[in-house]
Amino acid sequence: MTTAPPPYDPANPLVVLGAGVMGVGITTLALGHGLPVHLVDVDPERLTRARDRIAEELRLAHLLGALPPDTAPGELTTGTGTDPAAGAAAVIEAITENAELKAKVLAEVSALVRPGTPLITNTSSIPVDELAGAVERPAELVGTHFMNPPYLIRTAEVIRGRRTGDPVMASVASLLAALRREAVVVRDAPGFVTSRILHPMINDAARVVEQGTATAEAVDTLMQGCLGHPTGPLRTADLIGLDNLVDSLWVLHERTGDEGCRPCELLLRLVREGRHGRKSGSGFYDYH
């Protein structure tokens, strides 16, 4: 008989590091379930923009029925320093998909948090155990992979590193239960499950467009109508962010040697042109 994890205690805030697409989405999800959140980013202007985006996403999430209607939103605070992590109930790192930067931030935060505080890296492809070497207590580091937007997608991939301990796994299960998310635990490996399957498929879809076999619209229509993909791989790529996708593909390529994970030239060109998908206003599609 398994013992249920203790309920998540919202007395202290959830600290989210990074006010990009995923940091904003995770913050929206937590606030919408009544949890207080302190959002950290080194760029004050990005934090200002993030407040506006979070307010918009909360409104949208309520309109779509994605948040509990009888729950008052949690309090949002923001700042450019990591000191609030010292009193956090949990810390979720959601910065760019760069192993060196993630390790640096996690090392800084692990020196601040109280022992027993879950350190959660929201990574789409970097092995958790690779990052665990940077923190003071590797047993307290666990990976999550929220899908975008987190407040609409009810399943979250949870990655248990080789050194991740049982107490932090129980704490993360309790946090995800408070967020009404279904946690699916997987073994640590480059890309885990979702990115290891999805990102090379998107790369192949982009390569089909690059070679002139079909337009982006045709690829997505065929994948939706014939294979049941809900949005099509290239619309999904725009939602992920093409820059984030390319970073993830490089991580997979470097750690697996799979040439199918080498970003195709079309993806690289779109990123060079600043066409990063929905967040920039254009990618495979225009959103202006």
Model pLDDT for residues 218-241, shown as the tens digit of each residue: 999 999 999 999 999 999 999 999
Average pLDDT over residues 10-19: 92
- Which CATH number belongs to the domain containing residue 41 in this structure? 3.40.50.720
The verdict on 233 and 176 lying in the same domain is no
Domain of 253, in residue numbers: 196-279
Closest CA to 44 of 17, 21, 78: 78
pLDDT at 2 over 70: no
Domain boundary among 138, 165, 187: 187
**Is residue 64 helix, strand or coil?**
coil
Answer yes or no: is 132 within a domain: yes
Which stretches within the chain are classed as H helix? 21-32, 44-63, 99-110, 128-132, 166-178, 194-210, 216-227, 233-240, 242-256, 265-272
Please report which helix (H) or strand (E) contains residue 118, including its range.
none
Report how far residue 148's alpha carbon sits from residue 266's, in angstroms, rounded to the nearest whole number. 23
Strand partners for 184: 157
Domain boundary among 187, 215, 245: 187
Percent of residues, the chain, with pLDDT higher than 70: 97
**Tokens representing residue 38 in the block:** 């302190």
Establish if 4 belongs to a structural domain. no
* Residue at 202 is within a domain: yes
Would residue 7 count as lying in a domain? Answer: no
Q: Does residue 48 register a pLDDT over 90?
A: yes
The pTM of this model reads 0.92
Per-residue pLDDT tens digits for 255-288: 999 999 999 999 999 999 999 999 999 999 999 8
Residue 214 has pLDDT above 70, yes or no: yes
What is the structure's pLDDT at 218?
98
117 and 39 within one domain: yes
Residue 46 lies in a domain: yes
2 located within any domain: no
Q: In whole angstroms, give the CA distance from residue 28 to residue 165.
A: 28
What is the overall mean pLDDT for the chain?
Answer: 95
**Same structural domain, 33 and 163:** yes
Structure tokens at 220: 């997505």
63 and 24 share one domain: yes
Indicate if 201 and 180 belong to the same structural domain.
Answer: no
Answer whether residue 8 is part of any domain: no
Question: What pLDDT, on the 0 to 100 scale, is given for residue 194?
Answer: 96
Strand partners, 157: 145, 184
Q: Is pLDDT of 7 > 90?
A: no
Give the pLDDT of residue 3. 47
Going by C-alpha positions, the residue among 176, 147, 151 that lies closest to residue 58 is 151
Answer yes or no: do 211 and 274 share one domain.
yes
> What CATH number is given to the structural domain containing 272?
1.10.1040.10
∠ CA 8-124-7, nearest 5°, is 5
Query: Tokens 């399943």 sit at which residue?
Result: 155
pLDDT at 11: 77
pLDDT at 1 over 90: no
Q: How far apart are CA 247 and CA 242, in angstroms?
A: 9
User: Which residue did the predictor score with more confidence, 5 or 229?
Assistant: 229
Same domain, 130 and 243: no
Domain identity same for 75 and 125:
yes
Report how far apart, in Å, the C-alpha atoms of 156 and of each of 159, 194, 221 are: 10, 10, 26
Residue 287 counted as domain residue: no
Q: Which residues make Cβ contacts (< 8 Å) with residue 99, sequence separation at least 6?
A: 126, 130, 131, 251
Residue 252 CA to residue 263 CA, distance in Å, equals 10
Residue 120 has pLDDT above 60, yes or no: yes
The number of folded domains in the chain is: 2
In this structure, are 127 and 31 located in the same domain?
A: yes
